[in-house]
Homo-oligomer: A and B are copies of this chain.
Amino acid sequence: MNQEHLLIKALKGEPLERPPVWMMRQAGRYLPEYILLRNKYDFFTRVQTPELACEITLQPVDLIGVDAAILFSDILVIPQAMGLEVQMVENKGPFLPKTISSQKDIDALIVEGAAASLDYVSKAIALTKKELNSRVPLIGFAGAPFTILCYMVEGKGSKAFDKAKQFCFSQPELAHQLLNKITDVTIAYLHEQVNSGADVIQVFDSWSGLLGPEEFKQFSMPYLNKISDSLSARVPVILFPKGSWYAMEELSNSSASAIGLDWCVKPEFARQQTQNKKTLQGNFDPCKLLLPIPQIEQEVKTMIDAFGTNRYIANLGHGILPNIPVEHAKAFVNAVKNYRAL
C-alpha cells in the first residue's frame, strides 16, 4: 500500500514538514488547455461527460503539480437534479428561469431519486480515480444548502442576495423546508461521490457570509452539520463558509475535519478561535497571484509561517482568477512544496 497522501495526513492532524497545496478552481480558465475544451464544448457538456470532466480534473495535477485533484463539476447540478432548469451563460454566470418563492414551488421539487440522476458525476469520479492511479487524492464537493437556496430563490448571481435573504427572514418555515430538501439530496449525492471513490468532501457555502451571526446559526450551520455528520464517518469533510469569520467557534465544534478560510481571516485569529481542533485551509488572496514571482514566494512563506505546517492545507482564499499567468500559479504551488521551516 502507498504511503498516505499529504492531504489526508493534514486532515488527520499528523505532523508534517510542509503542508499539502491545491487551489480552488484549479481546473479553470487560467489554463490554456482548459480554454481549448471550453471553446469546443459548452459548460454542462463538460460537466456531464465523464471523459471531459475527468480530463479537466487531471489538468492541474499534470500541469501545475497540485497535491490534490478536485472534481470538475458545479454546485448547481443539485437544483438541476431537483427539477429546476439552470442555464450557464459563459462569462456571465448561472441563470434559473424558474425560481422558488412559494409552498407550491417547494412541493414540486424532486427529492426522491434526485441524487441518482447525477450518475454522470459518479462515472466521472470513477474514471478520474482510475486515471489518477493514486498519485493524489480526489476531492468531491457540493454547495451548502444555504448557498443553493440563494440561487434557487434569486435565480442568478447577486452581490447581496437580498431576495434570497428576505425569503429566509420573512418566511422562515418555507426556507427551512427548502433547506431540508436540499440537504437530503446533497447528502445522498455526496455519499454517491464517496461510493465512487471521492477521498475527501468539501462543502462550499459561498454566500453564508451575507448572513449575520444569528442568521448563520439559523439558516446555514444546522445544514452544514447535517451534511458533515452524515459524511465524516466515511471521509474527511472540509467546510468552507466563506465570509462567516464570526462562526469559527461553532465550526470548530462540528464533525468536520477542516475549515476553509478567506484572506480576511488572520491565521492567529483562526487558530485561537478553533483552539487548534481543526485543520485550516486557505487563504491566499487570489489577486496576489499577479505579484512578481519572488513576492509570491515571500508571501507564501509568510502565510505558512503563520499557520504552521501542521493541521494546515495551503490554498487560495477563493477561486483562481482567469487572468493569472500559469507560471504564477506554478510559483504559488512550488513555493508551498519548497517550504522548509527554519
Closest B residue to A171 by beta carbon equals B290
Q: Is the CB of A264 within 8 A of B287?
A: no
Which residues of chain B come closer than 8 Å to A266, judged between CB atoms? 213, 246
A263 part of interface (Cβ distance < 8 Å):
yes
With an 8 A cutoff between CB atoms, is A212 at the interface? yes
Chain B residues lying within 8 Å of A243, measured Cβ to Cβ, are: 264
Q: What number of copies of this chain does the assembly contain?
A: 2
Chain A interface, number of residues (Cβ within 8 angstroms)? 33
Q: Are B209 and A290 in contact (CB under 8 A)?
A: no
Question: Which single member of B162, B170, B213 contacts A264 (CB below 8 Å)?
Answer: B213
Chain B residues in 8 Å Cβ range of A291: 169-170
Q: Chain B residues with Cβ under 8 A from A211's Cβ?
A: 264
Whether A285 sits at the interface, judged by CB under 8 Å, is yes
Q: How far is the CB of A238 from chain B (nearest CB, A)?
A: 21
Tell me if A92 counts as interface (CB < 8 A to partner B).
no
**Shortest Cβ distance from A266 into B: residue:** B213
State whether the Cβ of A159 lies closer than 8 Å to any Cβ in chain B. Answer: yes
Q: Shortest distance in angstroms between A159's beta carbon and chain B's nearest beta carbon?
A: 6
Q: Which residues of B contact A339 (CB under 8 A)?
A: none
Please give, as numbers and ranges, the residues of chain B lying within 8 Å of A287 by CB-CB distance.
Answer: 162, 165-166, 169
Please, which residues of chain B bring their CB within 8 A of the CB of A24?
none
Report B-chain residues with C-beta under 8 Å of the C-beta of A321: 162
Residue A234 interfacial (CB < 8 Å): no
CB pair A212–B169 under 8 Å, yes or no, is no
Query: Contact: B264 with A209, CB < 8 Å?
Result: yes
How far apart are A84's CB and chain B's nearest CB, in angstroms? 23
Of B215, B245, B263, B265, the contact of A285 (CB 8 Å cutoff)? B215
Q: A288 contacts the other chain (Cβ, under 8 Å)? A: yes
In chain A, positions 133-168 with a C-beta closer than 8 Å to chain B are 157, 159-160, 162, 165-166
Besides A157-B159, A170-B292, 17 other A-B contacts (C-beta < 8 A): A160-B318, A162-B287, A165-B285, A165-B287, A166-B290, A166-B323, A169-B285, A169-B287, A169-B290, A170-B290, A212-B264, A212-B285, A213-B266, A243-B264, A244-B264, A245-B264, A246-B264
